[in-house]
Structure 1
Amino acid sequence: MSSPTLTDKVSKFIRHDILTGQLRPGQKLVVAELKEKYNVGASPIREALVQLSWSKYVKLEPQKGSWVASVCQDELKDLFDSLRVVSSVLLQKAIQSGDEHWELDVLTSFHKFSRLDTPKTDSDWTEWEERHMQFHKSLVEGANSKTMMAFFNDLINQIKRYRYFAITSHPENEDLYNIEQHEKLMKAALAKDAKAAAEVLETHLSNSMMAIEKSIAAA
């Protein structure tokens, strides 16, 4: 068995290549080809593919092999329907119980996020998406609900693959990086206006899903 450190590294390499479109949805993942690509042995490749199947980035079929997970409208809708429910509950709880530390985290994460220019390259998109994800996490972490946060993190990790698919397919789609909606969301949350925050969140999630749907339909 390979070392966990090497397996984790290989998993990150493959995950990065899936997100940036170097490995496309539905593409067959051949161990021999991946060995040459990443210059590692077969064991860490196989173990990394198993890891990535747990997060649904890779599909494994016994005796048949593995593929980059496909993208489809039904799964996308299911993910966003689930995210709407859990993120809405978490946001409401955070607004009700969030303290000064939560408020500072929200302000800081939005400030870091808003300082970025419109992404133009893969590295720009990677940084933008990481700060985007951190902002959304900071909004709901004040809820202090470990079980729902675990579900939330799983959902946004899966949706991240869909967002990157849309980004690499149609980087000009402004609904994927609408900073104004995020500013409205931040202000409503910090003003403790739960109703306004819920409305902005719903609009943001709906716009994001529709932007991704367009990319899937055009693929």
Structure 2
Amino acid sequence: MSSPTLTDKVAKQICQDILSGELKPNQKLVVSDLKEKYDVGASPIREALIQLSWIKYVKLEPQKGCWVAPISKLELYDLYESLKIVSSVLLEKSIREGSESWELEILTEYHKLSRFKFQGDNFNWQDWEERQEAFYTSLLKGCFSKNMLQFFDDIIRQIKRYRSISLSYSPMNFEQMFQIEQHEKIMKLTLDKDYEGAKQQLESYLTSMMKEIEPTVDNIEMA
């Protein structure tokens, strides 16, 4: 058995290539090809693929092989519907139960997001995505709801794959993300404890994000 450190390293490399679009949805993953690509043995490759199947980035079929997980508009809709429901519940619970330290974390993550510098062709999508995810995660983690937060993390992980693939195909479809005023409005409604307004604004934002991804999913499904 390979060392956990090597397996984790290979899993991260494959994961990044899936998110960047280098390894495309439905692409067959052949161990011999991956051995050459990542310059490691077969054992860490196989263990890494099993790890990635646990988070649904890879599809394994016994005796048949392994593929990058497919994407579909039906799954996209299901993921965002699930995200809207769990986010709405968590946001309201956080507003009702959140502490001062929770409010401070929101302000801190918003500040990091608002300070992001857009630099044309050198734009760092990954950095922006991480800051944006950290901000929205901070909004929802002011309450104690372990199971729902785990469910939220799982949905976000799946949506991240859709967003990353879409960004790799057509980054300028995501102009909506750059409107910092939207993020600020959600933050203010949350800190003002206007949970109905905050939930409505968050749902509107999530809907706009889903619509940004739809064209890429259409193109991949029709290819």
> Shorter-chain TM-score: what band?
over 0.9
Matches of 1:44 and 1:123, distance apart in 2: 33
Q: Between 130-139 and 156-165, report the one with greater CA deviation.
A: 130-139
- Deviation per CA, 1:127-177, whole angstroms, max 9, x where unpaired? 111111111111111012111100000000000000011111110111344
Query: 3-state SS of the aligned residue for 1:92?
Result: helix
Matches of 2:122 and 2:2, distance apart in 1: 30
| TM-score between the two structures when normalised by the length of structure 1 | 0.96
Matched, 1:189 2:190: yes
- Deviation per CA, 1:69-92, whole angstroms, max 9, x where unpaired? 111000011111111110100000
Query: 3-state SS of the aligned residue for 2:143?
Result: coil
Matched, 1:67 2:53: no
Give unmatched runs, 5+ long, in structure 2.
none
Percent of residue pairs bearing the same amino acid type: 56
Contact 1:27 1:67 in 2 (8 A): yes
Matches of 1:61 and 1:121, distance apart in 2: 40
Contact 1:167 1:176 in 2 (8 A): no
Matched, 1:171 2:171: yes
Residue 126 of structure 1 aligns with an amino acid whose one-letter code is Q
Residue 147 of structure 1 aligns with an amino acid whose one-letter code is N
Q: Which residue in 2 is equivalent to 1:89? A: 89
Specify whether residues 218 and 147 from structure 1 end up closer, same or farther in structure 2 by C-alpha distance, changes over 3 A only: same
Specify whether residues 46 and 121 from structure 1 end up closer, same or farther in structure 2 by C-alpha distance, changes over 3 A only: farther
Matches of 1:206 and 1:17, distance apart in 2: 27
Residue 84 of structure 2 aligns with an amino acid whose one-letter code is R
Matches of 1:144 and 1:135, distance apart in 2: 18
Structure 2 counterparts to residues 20-59 of structure 1, below 5 A: 20-59=20-59
Specify whether residues 179 and 129 from structure 1 end up closer, same or farther in structure 2 by C-alpha distance, changes over 3 A only: same
Specify whether residues 78 and 122 from structure 1 end up closer, same or farther in structure 2 by C-alpha distance, changes over 3 A only: farther
Specify whether residues 59 and 144 from structure 1 end up closer, same or farther in structure 2 by C-alpha distance, changes over 3 A only: same
Contact 1:20 1:168 in 2 (8 A): yes
Q: Which residue in 2 is equivalent to 1:116? A: 116
Matches of 1:123 and 1:10, distance apart in 2: 26
Matches of 1:160 and 1:119, distance apart in 2: 22
The CA RMSD over aligned residues, in Å, is 1.5
| Structure 1 residue ranges, 4+ long, deviating more than 3 angstroms after superposition | 118-123
| TM-score between the two structures when normalised by the length of structure 2 | 0.94
1:36 is displaced (CA, Å) by 1.1
Q: Which residue in 2 is equivalent to 1:107? A: 107
Query: 3-state SS of the aligned residue for 1:67?
Result: strand
Specify whether residues 86 and 75 from structure 1 end up closer, same or farther in structure 2 by C-alpha distance, changes over 3 A only: same
Query: 3-state SS of the aligned residue for 2:60?
Result: strand
Contact 1:20 1:122 in 2 (8 A): no
Residue 106 of structure 1 aligns with an amino acid whose one-letter code is I
Q: Between Structure 1 and Structure 2, how many residues are aligned?
A: 219
Q: Which residue in 2 is equivalent to 1:201? A: 202
Query: 3-state SS of the aligned residue for 1:28?
Result: coil
